[in-house]
């Protein structure tokens, strides 16, 4: 079977969220498709870096640069001229004019709960593209049961065409000790002990409450808020700057953390804090557990689904609950060790190989439903 895949999101230099999803999924999917005798045609809107993916005879890279409207004009034309058996977009939108069999991964519908956290144009685009993907696709892959439930509730997508397929976790993300940890802390000017948040600096991540909770926790730890600044980050920064010294000086914003530094930074943290208001999945929870670090997470949306019984769950709307949770994780060594042990067990449920296996199975089934003869 010839499977066309929009790989445009996999070439991002600083991978977060959907870009990381596309890259890790394709890395796992490529060898699996080869073993099963399928050909993958990967579409890029710019030349991919050398060795982005392993070279293989069953991989065809199609580079079709285009300045604007790449998906609905240039990619659509390519799909029309040389249609694959099925088309899959892991992190973007199905071209409007494409009428072949198509599948899409939908990651979350958080904009329905917090529309004010998005610029108006972005909000309109998110609403349209998600509904379009859900209704146009023959098969939808949802990152979590939370996302599936939201697709049914908000967009009226039929439940029987939505498959919950959990993403994996970076297999290279493991606990790091020793000199590498020291070097990374020095690089980002961080002084242990510290509590770590690692994701985009964005209102939906509940960082204003997190900062207020930290301010009243009276802990000696630094609070490290690591990640790129997103839209509407300024109120979060203002909340920090309005704190009096030396408290404000204990909050560190090192920016985006390079992939090669992430494991060391997480490993040295006393705890990872993720009381996000809404998540379609919540990668930082698993990243912390993979590095042997206890997690504080929200008790809402998909966070409990991802964390299992291996995190301290709190009400993300309750500053006191977040602050109490911080103190528990910082001061209760027994609780910390219990969560670390459970975390290692929980994270083993997730792998990109499992994700790729389920995605490929769904694509093959979709092809068979369309009348294709699939040969092993």
Q: What CATH number is given to the structural domain containing 28?
A: 3.40.50.2000
pLDDT at site 370: 75
Which structural domain range is residue 279 located in?
179-347
Residue 376 confidence (pLDDT): 38
Residue 193 preceded by cis peptide, ω within 30: yes
* pLDDT computed for residue 135 by the predictor: 96
Cβ atoms 43, 78 nearer than 8 A: yes
Nearest to 280 by CA among 89, 13, 21, 23: 21
Both 77 and 64 in one domain: the answer is yes
232 and 201 housed in the same domain: yes
Is pLDDT above 80 for 13?
no
**pLDDT confidence bin for 115, thresholds 50/70/90:** very high
Q: Label residue 116 by pLDDT band (50, 70, 90).
A: confident
Q: Is residue 342 part of a domain?
A: yes
Secondary structure of residue 89 in the 3-state scheme: strand
Same domain for 242 and 190 = yes
Q: What is the pLDDT of residues 182-217, one digit of tens each?
A: 999 999 999 999 999 999 999 999 999 999 999 999
Per-residue pLDDT band for 345 (boundaries 50, 70, 90) equals very high
Query: Taking 80 as the threshold, does the pLDDT of residue 67 lie above it?
Result: no
User: Can you give the pLDDT at residue 12?
Assistant: 73
Window from 110-114, 123-127, 276-280, 367-371 with minimum mean pLDDT: 367-371
Residue 79: what pLDDT? 97
Evaluate whether 252 touches 115 at the Cβ level (below 8 Å): no
Give percent above pLDDT 70 in the chain. Answer: 98
pLDDT bin (cut points 50, 70, 90) of residue 14 is: low
Residues 268 and 135 in one domain: no
Q: Provide the pLDDT for residue 375.
A: 41
Classify each residue of 199-232 as buried b or exposed e, where b means 16 or more C-beta atoms within 10 Å of its C-beta. Answer: bbbbbbbbbbbbbbbbbebebebbbbbbbebbee
pLDDT at position 133, please? 97
* Domain annotation covers residue 69: yes
* Average pLDDT of span 159-178: 95
Identify whether 232 is part of a domain.
yes
Q: Determine the pLDDT at residue 33.
A: 97
pLDDT one-digit tens code per residue, 70-107: 999 999 999 999 999 999 999 999 999 999 999 999 99
* Both structure tokens of 233: 């980050």
Q: Cα–Cα distance between 188 and 108 in angstroms, integer?
A: 31
Q: Are residues 37 and 89 in the same domain?
A: yes
Structure confidence at residue 1 as a pLDDT band (50, 70, 90)? very high
Asked if residue 75 belongs to a domain, the reply is: yes
pLDDT at 372: 67
As for how many domains the chain has, the answer is 2
Contact 266, 272 (CB under 8 A): yes
- For residues 145 and 243, state if they share a domain: no
Percent of the chain with pLDDT over 90: 88
């Amino acid at each position: 079977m010839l499977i066309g895949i929009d790989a445009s999101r996999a070439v991002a230099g600083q991978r977060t969220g959907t870009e990381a999803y596309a890259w890790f999924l394709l890395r796992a999917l490529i060898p699996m498709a080869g073993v099963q005798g399928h050909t993958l045609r990967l579409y890029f809107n710019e030349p991919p870096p050398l060795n982005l993916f392993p070279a293989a005879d069953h991989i065809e890279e199609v580079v079709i640069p285009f300045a604007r409207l790449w998906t609905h004009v240039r990619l659509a034309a390519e799909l029309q001229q040389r249609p694959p058996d099925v088309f899959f977009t892991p992190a973007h939108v199905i071209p409007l004019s494409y009428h072949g069999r198509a599948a899409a991964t939908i990651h979350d519908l958080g904009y329905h709960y917090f529309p004010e956290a998005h610029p108006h144009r972005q909000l309109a685009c998110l609403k349209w593209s998600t509904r379009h993907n859900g209704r146009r696709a023959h098969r939808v892959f949802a990152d979590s049961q939370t996302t599936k439930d939201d697709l049914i509730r908000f967009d009226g997508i039929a439940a029987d065409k939505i498959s919950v397929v959990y993403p994996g976790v970076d297999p290279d993300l493991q606990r790091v000790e020793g000199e590498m940890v020291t070097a990374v802390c020095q690089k980002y000017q961080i002084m242990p002990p510290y509590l770590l948040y690692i994701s985009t600096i964005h209102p939906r991540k509940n960082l204003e409450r997190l900062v207020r909770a930290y301010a009243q926790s009276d802990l000696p730890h630094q609070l490290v808020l690591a990640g790129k600044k997103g839209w509407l980050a300024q109120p979060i920064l203002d909340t920090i700057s309005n704190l009096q010294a030396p408290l404000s000086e204990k909050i560190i914003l090192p920016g985006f953390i390079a992939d090669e530094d992430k494991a060391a930074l997480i490993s040295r943290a006393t705890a990872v804090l993720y009381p996000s208001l809404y998540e379609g999945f919540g990668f930082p929870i698993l990243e912390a557990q993979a590095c042997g670090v206890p997690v504080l997470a929200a008790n809402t949306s998909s966070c409990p689904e991802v964390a299992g019984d291996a995190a301290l769950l709190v009400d993300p709307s309750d500053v006191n609950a977040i602050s109490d949770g911080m103190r528990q994780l910082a001061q209760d060594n027994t609780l910390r060790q219990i969560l670390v042990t459970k975390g290692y067990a929980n994270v083993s449920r997730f792998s990109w190989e499992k994700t790729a296996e389920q995605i490929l199975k769904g694509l093959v089934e979709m092809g068979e439903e369309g009348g294709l003869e699939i040969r092993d």
